Structures are given as C-alpha cells and as structure tokens.
Amino acid sequence: MTSPSLLSKLFHFVLLTTKKFGIDESHGLSHSMNVLHFAHDIFNDEVEKLPYIKYHEKIIYVSSILHDMCDKKYMNQDSGIAEISNFLGETNKITPTEITAINNIISTMSYSTVKKYGFPDLCEYQPAYHIVREADLLSAYDFDRCMIYNMNMQNGNVDAAFDNASKLFENRVFKHREDGLLLTDYALQQDYSLKQIANSRISAWRSILNNRHMT
C-alpha cells in the first residue's frame, strides 16, 4: 500500500486542525482548496515573468493550504505555527529552509497584519508571499463565505450576518484594489469579475431577506 501523498497529508492536517480548534467552514477545508486554486492560477501567470519562482511552487501550495491553521481568530498564532512546523517536519518532504519560508509567509499575510505593519521583506520569497496572500484575498470575494463566518459569530442570525458581511465588503473587500493590496496581473483582472459576482449575490440575499414569507 502506497503512503499518502503530500497533498493528502496537508488536507488531512487541515481536517484535524479545524476539528481541534473549532474552526468553522469559512476557514476550513473548502477555503483551503479555494485559496490553493487561486494560488495555482496566479503562479502559472507569474512564473512566465519570474521563472525562478518555479523552485518555490511547493512553498506556495503548502502555504495556501495551511495559511489559516494558525489563525489568531481561533487559536494562539505562535502555537499554531509551532504545530504546523512540527507537522511539516514529520512529512519528510519539506526542508527546514522551506518550513521557515512557509512560516514567514503565513504569519505575515493576513489582512489585519498587512494593514498594521505593511508587507514584510521576505527577499527571494517575496513573490511567493504575494501569490499566497492575493490568493487568500481573492477568496474573500465569496459573500456566502463571509455570511457563514458571521452566522457562526452571531448564533445563526442571518439578518445580523448579512449586515456585518455587507459592511465588511463595502469597507474592505471592495477596496482591495484602491488599498494597493492587489499587485499581480491575475488578481487585478479577477477583481472586476469577482466584484460583479459578489454584488449580484448581495442583491439576491437582500431580496430573500426582504421577502415577506421569510420575515
């Protein structure tokens, strides 16, 4: 029997960590998958301009999958990073240098961290950092995901969740471009279409919430 692939081990770690820390589905397995796919698309676009990042492809994918497994909304970030480091070391498929790069990326890429401290200087891993960070930002355009997070925070109150999510999109998500958070060509292109999809979803939710049969 063949041993599980690195990809399987990474997603299994996500499953175990979400259960251990009560991480809701807005930051769980499906989110890890979505960020991975966005990172894959950005990487394929960026590698044509920066060929050397092909050597960082594993770092990009691992960081994309695990980035929320140390989220300070759910746990102590330093403890989360330590658990990720131990896990990655036990896979025997990732070098100590790669583990350090992954830790540096996932510990500095959150929206709140960037807004407070700006972008870190990760030297040769800077492009990898922005690919993962922007993949996470693009996944934030999913309005239902934001609703799900807020419903978990509001004990299932869909009206409060919609109000909070709408405000977050107005004040944060829809300002990614003007706030200088999108640097790659792919992310800048996706910004337009993802905004349209999000606005359509917001309108649909508003219609459902205002439906007399749902009040």
For the chain, the domain total comes to 2
Q: Say if residue 31 is in the same domain as residue 125.
A: yes
Q: Say if residue 131 is in the same domain as residue 179.
A: no
In one-letter notation, the amino acid at residue 51 is P
- Binned at pLDDT 50, 70 and 90, residue 3 comes out as confident
Q: Say if residue 146 is in the same domain as residue 118.
A: no
Residue 155 DSSP code? T
Q: Say if residue 5 is in the same domain as residue 20.
A: yes
Quote the mean pLDDT of the chain.
96
Q: Say if residue 46 is in the same domain as residue 114.
A: yes
Q: Say if residue 211 is in the same domain as residue 151.
A: yes
Domain-ending residue, one of 139, 172, 189: 139
Residue 56 confidence (pLDDT): 98
Q: Per-residue pLDDT tens for 176-215?
A: 999 999 999 999 999 999 999 999 999 999 999 998 887 7
Question: What's the domain range around 199?
Answer: 141-215
Q: Say if residue 87 is in the same domain as residue 148.
A: no
Q: Say if residue 24 is in the same domain as residue 82.
A: yes
Assign residue 39 the CATH number of its domain: 1.10.3210.10
* Half-sphere CA count of 172, side-chain side, radius 13 A: 18
Burial pattern 68-90, b for ≥16 Cβ within 10 A else e, equals bbbbeebbebeebbebbbebbee
Q: Per-residue pLDDT tens for 114-152?
A: 999 999 999 999 999 999 999 999 999 999 999 999 999
Q: Say if residue 27 is in the same domain as residue 128.
A: yes
Domain-ending residue, one of 139, 169, 187: 139
- Binned at pLDDT 50, 70 and 90, residue 1 comes out as low
Quick one: which of 146, 151, 195, 187 has its CA closest to 166?
Answer: 146
Domain-ending residue, one of 124, 139, 154: 139
Q: Say if residue 6 is in the same domain as residue 80.
A: yes
